[in-house]
């Protein structure tokens, strides 16, 4: 039988992307899934969809703040009650860097809200991948073509139907594909992939 597959499209500026990442990494419901992560530019995605950024919509910013705290607590995701200093910060550089190194490290970012600056995140990359690899990533990042790799992930999310983040591209054991948006659709996602949601009590809210 084929392994259920999930591709998470994310931007580090999105608190719900972080919650999704943490759940997929730690929740036993998803332990048998193949999971891939694709950084995208949420602002570019909004522009493609002609979608207004949530914090510009009246009353939505307050709702988002309540929701991020609710879902983080429901699934045991570490998250600050206070809104991080400087939020929302520009993330194009660090998202591009994540594309270039082919991995993501949001668990490093929780403790330093200013890590979106190139100096800060390059120090993390060097500590994780070594000086030689970090130098190659830095050189590629300074190339004007580097942003294309982030744009390609954003375009893929858009073509799959995404209009916000987190966006989940799922393929079940029969080979059928479907896209899902948001933490509150994890129940439908799990149902599509025929996963055992009894393994995590957090899913009771989603039933």
- Tens digits of per-residue pLDDT, 63-110? 999 999 999 999 999 998 988 787 877 777 777 777 765 533 444 434
Of 7, 6, 27, 9, whose CA–CA distance to 77 is shortest? Answer: 27
Percent of the chain at pLDDT > 70 equals 90
- Evaluate if residue 155 carries a pLDDT over 80: yes
Task: Specify the pLDDT at position 144.
Answer: 61
Among 60-64, 96-100, 164-168, 193-197, the least confident range:
96-100
Letter string b/e over residues 78-110, b meaning 16 or more CB atoms within 10 A of that residue's CB: ebeeeebeeebeebbbbbbbbbbbeebbbeebe
- The 8-class DSSP code of residue 112 comes to -
pLDDT, tens digit, for every residue of 28-43? 999 999 999 898 999 9
C-beta of residue 27 within 8 angstroms of C-beta of residue 202: yes
User: What does the DSSP 8-state code read for residue 206?
Assistant: G
Q: Do 184 and 65 touch, CB atoms closer than 8 A?
A: no
The whole model's pTM is what? 0.79
At residue 160 the predicted structure's pLDDT band, cuts being 50, 70 and 90, is: very high
Dist. CA 13–CA 28, nearest whole Å: 26
Query: What is the C-alpha to C-alpha distance for residues 28 and 141, in angstroms, rounded to an integer?
Result: 36
Residue 128: CB atoms within 10 Å: 13
Total of domains in the chain: 1
Does position 196 have pLDDT exceeding 60, yes or no? Answer: yes
Q: Which domain holds residue 24?
A: 5-206
Give the model confidence (pLDDT) of 97-143 as tens digits: 777 655 334 444 344 445 566 777 778 788 878 888 878 888 878 77
CA gap 99, 112 in Å, rounded: 20
What pLDDT does 115 receive? 56
pLDDT digits (tens, 9 = 90+) for 50-59: 988 888 888 9
Sheet holding 5-10, edge to edge: 34-39, 5-10, 167-171, 177-181
- Whether 126 contacts 137, CB under 8 Å: no
CATH number at residue 31: 3.40.30.10
Q: Taking Cα atoms as reference points, which of 112, 132, 130 lies closest to residue 120?
A: 112
Torsions phi, psi for 169 (to 5 deg): -100, 115
């Amino acid at each position: 039988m084929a392994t259920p597959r999930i591709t998470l499209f994310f931007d580090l500026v999105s608190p719900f992307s972080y919650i999704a990442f943490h759940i997929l990494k730690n929740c036993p419901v998803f332990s048998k899934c193949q999971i891939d992560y694709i950084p995208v530019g949420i602002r570019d995605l909004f522009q493609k969809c002609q979608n207004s950024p949530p914090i510009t919509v009246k009353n939505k910013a307050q709702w988002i703040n309540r929701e991020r705290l609710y879902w983080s607590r429901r699934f045991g995701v570490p998250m600050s009650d206070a809104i991080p200093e400087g939020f929302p910060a520009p993330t194009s550089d660090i998202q591009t860097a994540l594309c270039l190194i082919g991995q993501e490290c949001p668990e490093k970012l929780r403790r330093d809200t200013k890590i979106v600056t190139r100096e800060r995140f390059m120090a993390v990359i060097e500590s994780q991948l070594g000086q030689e690899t970090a130098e190659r990533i830095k050189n590629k990042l300074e190339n004007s073509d580097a942003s294309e790799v982030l744009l390609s992930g954003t375009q893929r999310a858009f073509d799959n139907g995404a209009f916000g983040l987190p966006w989940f591209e799922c393929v079940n054991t029969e080979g059928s594909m479907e896209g899902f948006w948001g933490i509150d659709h994890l129940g439908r996602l799990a149902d599509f992939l025929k996963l055992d949601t009894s393994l995590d009590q957090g899913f009771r809210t989603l039933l």
